[in-house]
Structure 1
Amino acid sequence: MRYVNSKKKLILVAILALIFIVAAAFTYYVSDYYHADNRALAALKSTDTYIVSDTADFITFTPTTNKSTTGIIIYPGAKVQAEAYSVLASKLAQNGYTTIIVKMPFNLAFFGTDKADEVIAQHTEINKWVIGGHSLGGVFASEYALKNQDKISGVIYLAAYPSTNASNATFKALSIRGSLDGLTTVEDISKNLDKFPANTTFITLHGGNHYNFGDYGVQAGDNNSTITREKQQNLTVDYIVRFVKGI
């Protein structure tokens, strides 16, 4: 009997130790993330052309003039602080589009795929929605759109591709990637080409890379770009605006 009890205690100790190790590893993993840089933080200030609302869950850029009834939702890339996409969002707001960056739990869209529901519910003044995401954020933006095709009119894949087949989706899509992207490669796009919505426009930014879509420094594993971050983002905004206008 003592042997059985001792064995049970050893098993319990082993399980508790394993739980502790997994919890510690997860905590370490999520605490190491890319922070928004000063350029991004500067864009969080309201201007004459847009008003910024920064809450625990969302960063909202609301145009002050020429406000469209189409809104844009942005899902950040994995382990990237939401604020890192404020320059991109501010430029979209300057073009008249209410743009909301979603703050993800642990900076991972995996844990907040359906947070767009809250955005849509809070903005009844918007009657048409486009959702987009960078890298892994684009994967889960696509997942949300597939489950909510009655709510979403378009999806923007920034250095991203669908993990679930979206070829029969009713929404239009825009795919933008940099030619020098070392993380979402041309091979990745090609292998998943049949998963994109049938009505997808594909854009390659020559000289662009992966991390230039946001403002969070240099990302491990990526290539250096031969165009500036500002140019890559300006081109991206131009293509997004054209796409949204065509929906």
Structure 2
Amino acid sequence: MNILLTNDDGVYSKGLAALAGEISKIADVTVVAPDRERSATAHAITMHKPLRVEKVDFPIKNITAWKVNGTPSDCVKIALEAMLNFTPDMVLSGINQGPNLGTDVIYSGTVSAAIEATIMGVPAIAFSVTAYENVEYDTASTLAGKLVPQILKDDFPDDVLLNINIPHVPEEKIEGIYITHLGTRRYRNSFVKRKDPRGRSYYWLAGEVIENQENIGSDVWAIKNNYVSITPLKFDLTNYTIIEKLNKWNLKV
């Protein structure tokens, strides 16, 4: 079994190494990941400059790894279309430092890498752990190692990826697995205006997370209650329920 790993935190991130270490116990692992942190790059791809690929020494033995001066989606695209002489059985993205819940998935480079694999017909999972600081990846990587072979045993839907968020708690405190829908997680943004030494203005984006933790069955609710959240996502953003209503508008040109 061959599995391709990528992420948006960069090829040298601890989360990627932890995931690679566990998955290498059950599969042949290849890593193609950004050369630096590319968080919140969504599904951006590089079109107006060359992509450069460089082999790197990876901290896990017997794993071939490359870094790419592009986005997570670039990494998946170039790996599947130009670098690898085989089609992997699955693409795994992560383990992301921080959750990808609710509307986070729109901005997430981690999730978008998995979406790119899905577009190209390869089963994909995005993994995230729900902490930003002092992150320990033992629980998340161990659970990923348990889940991946179980998921691969079943028929993986062609147009679906799995977004898996894992609570940042010891494994014995995990309540179980919950199949979830996207919850409400958005941001009250604020831009802090400053001036550089030359007097020119610049801005830092900051914000406050706003969550609805009471929406039972959502990914946000599951994480609050120490469940592993597995959300099936599809990249077709069409709102099918409103097509008939829009047709009744009788729009003309």
Under a length normalisation based on structure 1, what TM-score does the superposition of the two structures give?
Answer: 0.32
Larger fraction in strand:
2
Larger fraction in helix:
1
